[in-house]
Structure 1
Amino acid sequence: MQQSSIASNKSINAKSAGGNSALWKRIVLHKYMYLLALPGVLYFIIFKFVPMWGLLLAFKEYNPYSGFTGSEWVGFKYFSELFSDANFYIMMRNTFAINIFGLVFLFPIPILLALMLNEVRHETFKRFNQSIVYLPHFLSWVVVASMTFFILSTDVGIINKLISESGHETISFLSNPNYFWGLLTAQSMWKEAGWGTIIFLAAMAGVDPQRYEAAVVDGANRWRQIWHITLPAIRPTIIILLILRLGHMADVGFEQILLMMNPLVLSVAEVFDTYAYTHGILKGQISMGITVGMFKGVVGFVLVIVSNYIVKKLGHEGIY
């Protein structure tokens, strides 16, 4: 019995050694590919995985003098405070409402824009238009917020000057809560729609041209070609990006919100990111800020899992 056990252990060790040898052979064989991937792997290890130790502070009463290990454990104290906060459901409403606006109005725009650019046959004109729609992405939110102020403010705004000169009363675009979510969505559409076309244009470039030629022979016009060839070809890309987008439903553009919010729109502008900034940075409650970030991460993780499950049940490819 003992000899059989020893033989079994030797067999397992031999298989393990053989597996390690095969792994090293693959690494040596594809060494340049691994070297190419090394910067990305190091980035995720250093900036994504190592900082995850900081999540422990969500369960501690962090004291800078006691340090990371010396701070007192408080369990779910900060989670309880977050969920019992009077503004918690307001923040959740605002966060999800802003993201739903973006999902409904912003997400389809890069797809439509990419379809239109893909139909342009003059290469120079096409590249010129691509460059124009990409440019807003490189502007900071400070510049975008300043432009919005000079266009929509009641004092110096171009729109309100035109309204005033036409004999009508000016409109408080920037201080009216009813306009805030739409204003944020419009800003994001102008700034990011062009940049979002890059992935879809790349997916369209991979479509076999012979499929379009066969469709022309069968008498399909451009609309039919888009509907039956282009859109099905980019459907996996759309689904993957949609799932990833749902994973950020608890996130909003913190810088954009911070620049655009004011006391008059606070009821519709307060989100988890600004709450974490107020408590974690301004008030020095580091543990509360980390608690908010952890809660957002859990919400995003659950949404990705659920949406990926639904997509696969519908017969499409998910992200895993």
Structure 2
Amino acid sequence: MNPTLVAVALSLVSAVAYASAAVAQERLAARSAGSGTLRLLAQGAWWWSVTLNASAALLHVAALKYGTLTLVQPLGALTLVAAVPLGARVAGRRVSAVEWRGTALTLAGLAALLVTASGTAPDEVLSLPQALAVAGTTAAVIGMLARGARPGLRHATAAGFASGVASALTQTVTVAATDRSDSPLSAQVVVVALFVAVFAAAGLLLAQTAYQGGLGAPLAVVTLANPLAAAAIGLSLLGERLQGGAAGLLLALAGASVAAWGVVTLSRSTPEPAATADPHLGGLADDDHPVAAVLALEPNGAAYEPSFVPRQTDSGHLTSR
């Protein structure tokens, strides 16, 4: 079977699962406002959304086994696309013209990227020295971007960068662990897996910080920075190549630009979370904007824990978000 088709199919199902879980979490948060996290944990619907999140993450990991980083990571934007009709159906409303336009642009751009990013299943992995260099560089970049406590686009960029690197390292773990020529628990696999956990968690926390200053622009920046960081590693260290030579490169750039336009359009259709977020549940209570529910996830599947992250309120107390 064509590995590219397998990777695309897995990424598509993963995106639908992520979007379904996000919409479910948003709806549950709206219905359970003020009930607190502990009561939420006792509800079967919440655990069903957690199961969807975990399943989506596993599907994303499987896609990285069959597809290159330049193919799989941009497809993470499909989560935003899938959230639009799912959220509209649950809320009993029609998809807006802006959402249709953003969806069409994103799909058109991703289609162009698919033509140029298709190829054989990945077989190269980062060596341990390369993984250490990537981790060190990533930590330094994140440290520079995340300086200062005030949330902003720098935190969003750092979040996308961390998540993209986590996915790139996940591919190394997946390919190396399934390569029968070596032990699945080699030092390389164990060390890189630890880096995955660190950067995935960092991406989640940085994204939560960025979203405190507003949703639209940070969501777009996270969604776009993620595949850029992963593709940089794939093209520079893993021998990935775009198909079609110079023409393929131009098509890829055009597709990326159109997809980015679509992501920004979808992000602008979401509300600001400050007015509707419940401090105990971390969800948004506005049923008219399903894409906002994707905040329950870290974009592109790099981290998939529910968004109940401790945050400090203006009064200095810790609440769950």
Q: TM-score, with normalisation over the residues of structure 1? A: 0.28
* Bigger Rg, which one: 1
Instruction: Determine which structure has greater relative contact order: mean sequence separation of CA pairs < 8 Å that are 6+ residues apart, divided by chain length.
Output: 2
